Amino acid sequence: MSDTKEMLETVRAPASLPMAEVATAIDACLRCVQTCTTCANADLAEEAVDELRRCAAWCVTCADVCDVTARLLSRPAYSDQLTIHHVLQACVRACENSAEECARHAQHHRHCAICEGVCRACVEACAALLDAQTIDGLEDLAGG
């Protein structure tokens, strides 16, 4: 159990998004930073590095995008829903890319198998937030 949800609830700010789902997305993003960073590093050390170039490149980028997503979601005060919206979309896309590329190598490389799963969990958590934005925050977004 992480402290993420409890931390978010200490912030004096109007809740723009359901905090339980934000906490889930933050934790999924941080896991993805870790896993993608290690997967890219592991790719470079494999004999078959030639076949793992795209995996290394996309995992490095996925880690960077998940990192900024976790940071923005961790700031409920003075948050801007439209910035978060675009970052969540980037995060879903980057995680999908990594998941799909990792899936192609999952049978031969354990790091890719684990990484695929972590990326897919992150897609799910960020997509859930995007859905929540569409329903609850539509006016904010339109007003932005």
- DSSP readout, 64-108? HHHHHHHHHHT--TT--HHHHHHHHHHHHHHHHHHHHHHHHHTTT
Task: Rank residues 89 and 134 by Cβ distance to its own copies and give the closer one.
Answer: 89
- Identify whether the C-beta of residue 18 lies closer than 8 Å to the C-beta of residue 132: yes
Q: Which residues lie below 8 Å from residue 111, measured CB to CB, with a gap of 6+?
A: 38, 39, 42, 43
Written as one letter, the residue type at 130 is L
Least distance between its own copies and beta carbon 16 (Å): 13
Q: Is 63 or 125 the residue whose CB approaches its own copies more closely?
A: 63
- 33 versus 125: smaller Cβ distance to its own copies: 33
Q: How far is the CB of 89 from its own copies (least distance, A)?
A: 4
Instruction: Tell me which residues touch its own copies (CB under 8 A).
Output: 2-4, 6-8, 10-13, 26-27, 30-31, 33-35, 37-42, 44-46, 49-50, 53-54, 56-58, 60-61, 63-65, 67-68, 70-72, 74-78, 80, 82-83, 86-87, 89-90, 93-94, 97, 109-111, 114-115, 118, 144
What is the closest distance, in whole angstroms, from the C-beta atom of residue 121 to its own copies in the complex?
A: 10
Task: Specify the residue, 78 or 107, whose C-beta has the smaller distance to its own copies.
Answer: 78
Shortest reach from residue 87's CB to its own copies, in Å: 5
Distance separating alpha carbons of residues 65 and 132, to the nearest angstrom:
20
Question: Longest C-alpha distance within the chain, in Å?
Answer: 53
> How many Å apart are CA 47 and CA 9, to the nearest integer?
47
